[in-house]
C-alpha cells in the first residue's frame, strides 16, 4: 500500500496504473487518485465537518452528508450536541475507534476517488454496521476500484478478487467461491466458521 | 468549554476588577500572616529608604555650597552608605518573604483544588474536559499565587514610594512639590493605558506561539493522512495565517513599548523641567538653595517607576481575574454524591468500634447480596441509558455482562461503584439502599480491574502494594503467586523491584492485567469488578489470566464486562445487555439453547478468536 501511494519506491519491479509507471506520474496527481482509510485514522483537532472536508475543501454540505450516510456515521454525528460542527480532539469530544474509522471513510469518499484503499479500515466497526457500509460501497461498483485489506472474512467475501498474502508473497488469488474450494489459508479460515456452525447445530 | 482564542483575550482584560472575588482570593495570602507582615514592613520601609536618596545628594550639594571643607562630605557619604545597606537588607527580606508566600499560596490553592476534584463525582468530569480543566488549574494556581505575593508587594511599595516622595517634597518646598506632583496624574493615565495593552499583546504572542507549536505537532503526527489527502497546501496556508497573526501581535507589542517608554520618560523630564524653571529662578533670587532644586529634579524623574509597577500589577490582576473565577468556582462546587446527614450520624455513632463484622456505618460488614431494583439512569436527563433494570446477586456468584458497546454494561458497574447514582429505582446491599451506607465503606469494598489497568511509575512491588498499603512483602508475593503473576515477574530484569509504568519496563496488556489482579486480590474486596481486555492476548497468557481471575472470583460477588468466551462460559449468570435492558439472561447452555442474541454474539466472537489463532499459527 505504501508503494502504491509512493510513500516509498519499490526496490525492484514497477507499479502501473492504466499502463503508466507510478514513478512517471506527478505525486500530487497520483495521490489524488486515491481515497485512503487507515486502521487507526488520524483526525485533526477541528470540527467533524472540517475533518471530512479536508482534502476537498469546496465540497457542498449535501455531499458531505451523503458520504457520511454511506459510511453509516451521519446519524451518530447528528446525535452530537453541535452536529457536524462538533469539535474533536484535544479541545473537543473523543470519538471511539469505530467512529473515527467511519469519519475517515467519509473523508476518503468525499473526493470520489477512482481508487478507494481501505487498510483494515473497518476493524473497529461492528458487524451490522460493517454490512451496511459494504452495501453502500457497492453503489460505487463499476465506477471505481476498491482495495480492501482485512482480517475479517465477511469483509472480503463480496470482493471480485481476493489475494491471500503470506510472508510478503501472494499465496492464493481468486474469488470467495474459488478460494473456499482450494486448499490453503483462506479455506482453513472459512472452515473454522462453517464447522463451528455445524457443531452448534448438532 | 474550550481554550480561548487569542482574540478573546481583549474582552477578558476589559472586564472591571471584581473586588469581592479578589478579597476571597486574598484570603489565601492572609493565612500566612507570619510572612505577610514582614513582607508589608519591608515594602513600606523600602519605599521610604528609596525616597531619601535625593536627600543624600541635597546634603552633599549644600555642603559644597556652604564653603565647608571637603572633609565634611563624609556625612552625606555615610548617609548614602547607610541607605544602601538598609536597602539591600530589605530587598533580601522581601524576596525571601514574597517567594515563600507565593509557594505557600500555590500549594494551598492546589491542595484545595485537588481535594475538591477528588470529592467530585464522575458526572462532573463528564461535563468538563478533564485534561484541559486540570492543565488550566495548574496554570491558574501558579498565576494567582504569583500575583498575590508579588503584586501585593509591588502595589504596597509603589503607593508608599509615591507617598514618601510626595511628603518629602512637601516638607522641603510645598509650592515646588505641587508643581512636580502635577505630572503624576498624566503618568498614571498613560501607564494604565499602555500597560494593559502591552500585557494583552504579550499574552497574545504566547497564545499564537502555542498554536504554532500545536500545529507543528499535528502536522508531524498527521503527515501520512495529510499526504494521502493532498492537504499540504491548505495546511501551509493555515500555518502562514497563524505565523502572520504572531507577526502582527509581535509588531504591536514592540510598537506599544516603543511609544510608552519614551512617553513616560518625557513626562519625567517635563517634571524636572518645571522644577528647574520655577526653582531655578528661586535659586537665583536665593529664595531656594541649590541642593533642594537638585533633589526635586531627581524626584521628578522617579515617579515613573512606582506608577509603572502599579499599572502593571493592575493589568495583571485584570488578566488573572478569569483564573481566579475558575479556581473559586471549582472550590465552590459541591459534590453531588456524598454521605447523607443520616449516614454521617451513623458514622459518628458506630465509627470507633473494633468489631470487625460491623462496618463503620453500623451495618453488617459482610456483603451477602446486591439487588438492583427497577433502576433507571440517564447521564443528562435526556438520553436513557438504563431502564427498569432488575438483578439480584448473591455472594459467590459471578455475573458476565455481554452486549454491544454503548448498551449500558459500563453504566451498570459505575452505578454499583456509586460513581453515579441511579436516577430511578434503588440499589440495595443486604436489603439496605446503598445511599444509606457510607460511600467510603462501599468503595473500599470494591476491587476494580480496568481494560487497560493503570500502573503507576514505580516498582512491580509498589504497584501491587497499592491495593493495600500495609501489606507485607510476603503477602504481596503470595497474591502475585495466586493470580499467576509471579512467573513473569521473576523473569523481569530486577524481579519485583523492576520499575514499570511510564518510562519503565514495557509490559504487555496481559502482564499489566496480571499485576492489577494481584493488586485487587491484596485489597481483598468483597465486590470484584472487571472490564475484560478486548485486545488479543497470546494463548498462554490468556490461560494464566483465566486461572488467576477465577481464583479472585471465589467467595466474592463478581461482575465482569466480558469479551472472552472462556470468561463468559464460566460465569454463573450471563446478562445480555442491549439498549439499557437485559434482553436475555441465564447460563451459557441455557442461552445457546434459546437461539437468540447470545448465540449470535457467541458465534461471532468464537469465529474471531479462532481466526486470530489461525493467523497467529500461520
Cβ proximity of B222 and B235 under 8 Å: no
Is the CB of A55 less than 8 angstroms away from the CB of B229?
Answer: yes
Question: Model confidence over B480-507: pLDDT tens digits?
Answer: 998 889 988 998 888 999 888 765 667 8
**A94 part of a folded domain:** yes
**A180 part of a folded domain:** yes
Is the CB of B606 less than 8 angstroms away from the CB of A87?
Answer: no
**A161 part of a folded domain:** no
Is the CB of B224 less than 8 angstroms away from the CB of A44?
Answer: no
Residues of B in contact with A44 (CB under 8 A): 218, 222
What is the C-alpha separation between B298 and B303, in angstroms, rounded? 9
pLDDT at A75: 87
Task: Note whether A3 contacts B: Cβ–Cβ < 8 A.
Answer: no
Is the CB of B227 less than 8 angstroms away from the CB of A126?
Answer: no
Give the CATH number of domain B16-332: 1.20.1560.10
Question: Model confidence over B577-598: pLDDT tens digits?
Answer: 888 888 888 888 888 888 788 8
Task: Note whether A152 contacts B: Cβ–Cβ < 8 A.
Answer: yes
Is the CB of B221 less than 8 angstroms away from the CB of A28?
Answer: no
Give the CATH number of domain B396-416+439-617: 3.40.50.300
Cβ proximity of B204 and B254 under 8 Å: no
pLDDT at A202 over 60: no
**A119 part of a folded domain:** yes
Cβ proximity of B331 and B110 under 8 Å: no
Same domain, A121 and A194: no
pLDDT at B165 over 90: yes
Q: What is the ipTM of this complex?
A: 0.74
Residues of B in contact with A189 (CB under 8 A): 611, 614-615
Same domain, A77 and A174: no
What residue segments make up the domains of chain B, in order of their start?
16-332, 396-416+439-617
pLDDT at B41: 93
Same domain, A139 and A102: yes
**3 state SS of B324:** helix
pLDDT at A169: 84
Question: Model confidence over B509-552: pLDDT tens digits?
Answer: 788 888 988 998 888 899 999 887 766 566 677 788 888 888 88
Element housing B371 (H / E): strand B369-378
Lowest mean pLDDT among A58-72, B256-270, B276-290: B276-290
**A72 part of a folded domain:** yes
pLDDT at B14: 59
Cβ proximity of B526 and B393 under 8 Å: no
pTM: 0.64
Same domain, A62 and A103: yes
pLDDT at B10: 56
Same domain, A69 and A149: yes
CA-based nearest distance A12→chain B, Å: 23
Q: What are phi and psi of B503, to 5 degrees?
A: 80, -5
User: What is the domain range of residue A99?
Assistant: 33-155
Interface test with chain A among B5, B228, B606, by most A beta carbons within 10 Å? B228
**How many domains, chain A?**
2
Task: Note whether A165 contacts B: Cβ–Cβ < 8 A.
Answer: no
Instruction: Average the pLDDT over B246-268 and give the result.
Output: 90
Same domain, A46 and A124: yes
Same domain, A119 and A181: no
Pairwise pLDDT comparison (B281 vs B11), residue with the higher score: B281
pLDDT at B11: 60
Confidence of residue B474 (pLDDT cuts 50, 70, 90): very high
Torsion B575-B578-B582-B584 (CA) sign: negative
Confidence of residue B3 (pLDDT cuts 50, 70, 90): very low
Confidence of residue B1 (pLDDT cuts 50, 70, 90): very low
Cα dist from B108 to A107, B161, B320, B332, whole Å: 49, 31, 18, 15
Beta bridge partners of B582: B577
Cβ proximity of B288 and B99 under 8 Å: no
CA-based nearest distance A166→chain B, Å: 8
Amino acid at each position: 500500500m505504501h508503494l502504491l501511494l509512493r510513500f516509498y519506491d519499490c526496490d525492484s519491479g514497477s507499479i502501473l496504473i492504466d499502463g503508466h509507471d507510478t514513478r512517471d506520474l506527478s505525486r500530487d496527481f497520483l495521490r489524488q487518485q486515491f481515497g485512503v482509510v487507515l486502521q487507526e485514522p488520524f483526525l485533526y483537532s477541528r470540527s467533524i465537518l472540517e475533518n471530512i472536508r479536508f482534502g476537498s475543501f469546496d465540497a457542498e454540505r449535501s455531499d458531505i452528508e451523503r458520504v457520511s450516510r454511506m459510511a453509516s456515521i451521519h446519524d451518530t454525528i447528528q446525535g452530537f450536541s453541535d452536529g457536524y460542527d462538533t469539535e474533536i480532539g484535544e479541545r473537543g469530544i473523543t470519538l471511539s475507534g469505530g467512529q473515527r474509522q467511519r469519519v475517515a471513510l467519509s473523508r476518503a469518499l468525499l473526493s470520489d476517488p477512482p481508487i478507494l484503499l481501505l487498510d483494515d479500515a473497518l476493524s473497529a466497526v461492528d458487524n451490522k454496521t460493517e454490512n451496511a457500509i459494504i452495501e453502500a460501497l457497492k453503489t460505487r461498483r463499476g465506477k471505481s476500484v476498491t482495495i480492501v485489506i482485512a482480517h475479517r472474512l465477511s469483509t472480503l467475501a463480496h470482493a471480485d478478487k481476493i489475494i491471500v498474502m503470506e510472508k510478503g508473497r501472494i499465496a492464493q488469488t481468486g474469488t470467495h467461491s474459488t478460494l473456499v474450494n482450494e486448499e490453503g489459508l483462506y479455506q482453513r479460515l472459512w472452515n473454522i466458521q462453517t464447522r463451528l456452525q455445524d457443531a452448534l447445530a448438532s | 468549554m474550550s481554550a480561548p482564542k487569542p482574540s478573546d483575550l481583549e474582552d477578558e482584560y476589559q472586564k472591571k476588577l471584581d473586588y469581592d472575588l479578589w478579597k476571597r482570593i486574598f484570603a489565601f495570602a492572609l493565612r500566612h500572616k507570619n510572612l505577610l507582615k514582614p513582607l508589608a514592613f519591608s515594602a513600606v520601609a523600602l519605599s521610604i529608604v528609596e525616597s531619601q536618596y535625593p536627600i543624600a545628594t541635597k546634603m552633599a550639594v549644600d555642603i559644597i555650597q556652604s564653603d565647608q571643607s571637603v572633609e565634611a562630605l563624609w556625612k552625606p557619604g555615610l548617609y548614602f552608605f547607610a541607605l544602601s545597606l538598609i536597602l539591600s537588607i530589605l530587598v533580601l527580606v522581601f524576596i525571601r518573604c514574597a517567594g515563600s508566600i507565593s509557594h505557600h499560596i500555590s500549594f494551598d490553592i492546589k491542595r484545595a483544588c485537588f481535594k475538591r476534584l477528588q470529592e467530585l463525582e464522575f458526572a462532573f468530569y463528564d461535563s468538563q474536559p478533564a485534561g484541559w480543566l486540570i492543565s488550566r488549574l495548574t496554570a491558574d494556581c501558579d498565576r494567582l499565587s504569583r500575583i498575590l505575593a508579588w503584586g501585593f508587594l509591588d502595589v504596597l511599595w509603589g503607593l508608599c514610594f509615591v507617598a514618601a516622595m510626595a511628603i518629602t517634597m512637601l516638607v522641603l518646598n510645598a509650592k515646588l512639590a505641587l508643581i512636580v506632583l502635577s505630572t503624576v496624574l498624566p503618568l498614571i493615565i498613560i501607564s494604565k493605558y499602555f500597560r494593559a495593552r502591552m500585557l494583552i499583546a504579550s499574552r497574545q504572542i504566547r497564545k499564537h506561539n502555542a498554536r504554532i507549536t500545536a500545529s507543528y505537532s499535528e502536522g508531524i503526527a498527521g503527515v501520512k493522512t495529510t499526504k494521502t489527502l493532498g492537504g499540504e497546501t491548505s495546511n501551509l496556508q493555515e500555518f502562514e495565517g497563524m505565523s502572520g497573526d504572531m507577526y502582527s501581535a509581535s509588531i504591536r507589542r514592540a510598537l506599544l513599548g516603543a511609544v510608552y517608554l519614551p512617553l513616560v520618560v518625557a513626562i519625567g523630564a517635563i517634571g524636572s523641567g518645571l522644577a528647574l524653571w520655577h526653582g531655578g529662578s528661586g535659586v537665583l533670587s536665593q529664595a531656594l538653595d541649590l541642593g533642594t532644586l537638585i533633589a526635586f529634579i531627581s524626584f521628578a524623574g522617579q515617579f515613573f517607576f512606582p506608577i509603572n509597577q502599579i499599572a502593571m500589577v493592575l493589568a495583571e490582576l485584570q488578566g488573572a481575574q478569569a483564573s481566579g473565577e475558575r479556581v473559586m468556582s471549582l472550590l465552590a462546587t459541591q459534590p453531588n454524591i456524598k454521605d447523607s446527614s443520616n449516614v454521617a450520624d451513623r458514622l459518628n455513632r458506630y465509627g470507633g468500634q473494633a468489631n470487625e463484622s460491623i462496618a463503620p456505618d453500623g451495618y453488617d460488614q459482610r456483603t451477602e447480596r446486591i439487588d438492583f431494583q427497577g433502576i433507571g439512569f440517564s447521564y443528562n436527563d435526556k438520553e436513557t441509558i438504563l431502564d427498569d433494570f432488575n438483578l439480584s446477586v448473591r455472594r459467590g456468584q459471578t455475573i458476565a455482562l455481554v452486549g454491544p458497546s454503548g448498551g449500558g454494561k459500563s453504566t451498570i458497574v459505575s452505578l454499583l461503584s456509586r460513581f453515579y447514582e441511579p436516577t430511578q429505582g434503588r440499589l440495595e446491599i443486604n436489603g439496605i439502599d446503598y445511599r444509606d451506607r457510607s460511600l467510603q465503606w462501599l468503595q473500599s469494598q470494591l476491587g476494580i480491574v480496568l481494560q487497560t489497568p493503570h500502573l503507576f511509575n514505580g516498582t512491580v512491588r509498589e504497584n501491587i502494594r497499592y491495593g493495600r498499603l500495609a501489606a507485607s512483602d510476603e503477602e504481596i508475593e503470595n497474591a502475585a503467586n495466586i493470580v499467576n503473576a509471579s512467573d513473569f515477574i521473576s523473569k523481569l530484569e530486577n524481579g519485583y523491584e523492576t520499575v514499570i509504568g511510564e518510562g519503565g519496563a514495557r509490559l504487555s496488556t496481559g502482564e499489566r492485567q496480571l499485576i492489577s489482579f494481584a493488586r485487587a486480590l491484596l485489597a481483598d474486596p468483597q465486590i470484584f469488578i472487571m472490564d475484560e481486555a478486548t485486545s488479543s492476548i497470546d494463548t498462554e497468557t490468556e490461560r494464566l489470566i483465566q486461572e488467576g481471575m477465577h481464583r479472585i472470583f471465589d467467595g466474592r460477588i463478581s461482575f465482569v464486562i466480558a469479551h472472552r468466551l472462556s470468561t463468559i462460559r464460566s460465569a454463573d449468570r450471563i446478562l445480555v445487555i442491549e439498549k439499557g435492558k437485559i434482553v436475555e439472561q441465564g447460563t451459557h447452555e441455557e442461552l445457546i439453547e434459546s437461539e437468540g442474541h447470545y448465540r449470535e454474539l457467541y458465534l461471532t466472537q468464537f469465529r474471531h478468536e479462532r481466526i486470530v489463532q489461525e493467523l497467529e499459527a500461520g
